[in-house]
Amino acid sequence: MKKLILFITFFIFLSNNYLLAVDKPSELENKIFKNLRCLICQGQSIYDSQSDFAESMKIVVRKNLEAGMSEKDIYQFMKKNYGEWVLYNPEINKRTYILWSLPIILFVIGGAIIIRKLGVFKR
Amino acid sequence: MKNKIFVTISFVLFAFCFAVFYLGLQKPNIYTPKLDKQIELPNFAGNDFFSGEKVISDNLLKKNSYYIINIWASWCIPCRAEHSFLMALKNKNFNLLGINYKDNNSNAQSFLNELGNPYSKILSDKNGVTSIELGAYGVPETFIVSKEKKIIKKIIGPIDNENFNEILELIK
């Protein structure tokens, strides 16, 4: 029993130590990581990925934030190097009007159909 | 009448969705970047492989000469395959700049001892930042940079025979 308690204390102490040693990314960093696509595993954001290039991208994001770049500047920087594809949130421009407006249009149409079917406005 | 319109609309919608998804299936789902316009070479920095000094791209790249920038690592198997092409590109009328990606110095050194060193300069990229600044997608990767410091070609993956001839064609 004594041994077990000693082991558990030691274990908790060590894991605590580890958790303190890892520098956690800030909220802003996480937000940016989640919006950048991993170059190797293309369905993932770099937040989810642990590939070498994703890790490097995280370092670059941190470095640029420290250098005083804003979130937008970083997206611009990545876009310049990798194209718009690297961002998960596509920008609103001529090519993405439909993409952004379609859900809203569908929502309105769907809503209209439901309201008609339910006969909310019928007396 | 109303019912008919509803059925037609739903059928058209269904056909439209089917067509979109069917066409989408034909497309490869791995993205390969297009290089239809020439991109200006971004600024980058790194440490010299041999001396460890910090190097900035502005000081490194001479004006009026072509550059080939090759990202490699000793742990990367395709790099081994393309190395003979790089050796054949040595001492031509352009500079070959190597970027040693996330590598152990002694391993990289023995890689060069074994297969030869085609590079006129090597930057060591310990944490991968230089490669991201350059806009690289993976190892190996090769950039052909014009005299105006624009990237005129990006070769993602190892150089093959076809790429090799293309490089010679581009840089005359």
Q: Residue by residue, what is the 3-state secondary structure of B98-133?
A: EEEECCCHHHHHHHHHHHCCCCCEEEEECCCHHHHH
Handedness of CA B165, B168, B171, B172 (dihedral sign): negative
Pairing of β B45-48 and β B121-125: antiparallel
Each residue's pLDDT tens digit, A87-108: 888 777 787 888 889 999 999 9
Do both A82 and A123 map to the same domain? no
Asked if residue A37 is part of any domain, the answer here is yes
CA A112, distance to chain mean position in Å, is 33
Higher pLDDT, A15 or A80: A80
What was the pLDDT predicted at A22?
Answer: 61
Do both A87 and A119 map to the same domain? no
Fold of B39-170: Glutaredoxin (3.40.30)
CA–CA distance, A113 with A35 (Å, rounded to integer): 35
The residues on A that touch B, with CB distances below 8 Å, are 39-40, 42, 52-53, 55-57, 59-60, 63, 80-83, 85
* B134 neighbourhood in chain A, CB within 8 Å: 81
- Where in chain B are the domains? 39-170
H/E run at residue A110: helix A97-118
Do both A32 and A65 map to the same domain? yes
Do both A81 and A120 map to the same domain? no
Do both A83 and A35 map to the same domain? yes
Residue A122: give the domain boundaries: 92-123
Total structural domains within chain A = 2
- Could you tell me the CA-to-CA distances from B128 to A55, B45, B131 in Å, in that order? 8, 11, 6
Each residue's pLDDT tens digit, A74-89: 998 888 888 888 888 8
Asked if residue A20 is part of any domain, the answer here is no
Q: What CATH number does the domain containing A50 carry?
A: 1.10.8.640
Asked if residue A41 is part of any domain, the answer here is yes
Mutate to test the interface with A, among B31, B99, B132 (most CBs of A within 10 A): B132
Do both A87 and A34 map to the same domain? yes
- Burial letters for B141-170: b for 16+ Cβ neighbours within 10 Å, e otherwise? bbbbbbeeeebbbbbebbbeeebbeebeee
Asked if residue A1 is part of any domain, the answer here is no
Do both A85 and A105 map to the same domain? no
Asked if residue A121 is part of any domain, the answer here is yes
Whether residues A59 and B102 touch (CB distance < 8 A) is answered with no
What was the pLDDT predicted at B99?
Answer: 93
Both tokens of A50, joined, read 């642990």
Asked if residue A33 is part of any domain, the answer here is yes
Whether residues A39 and B138 touch (CB distance < 8 A) is answered with yes
Task: Name the pLDDT band for A11 (thresholds 50, 70, 90).
Answer: confident
- Is there a cis peptide before residue B140, judged by omega within 30 degrees of 0? yes
What was the pLDDT predicted at A91?
Answer: 76
- pLDDT < 50: residue spans in chain B: none
Residue A88: DSSP 8-state: S
* A63 neighbourhood in chain B, CB within 8 Å: 129
Q: How much is the pTM? A: 0.73
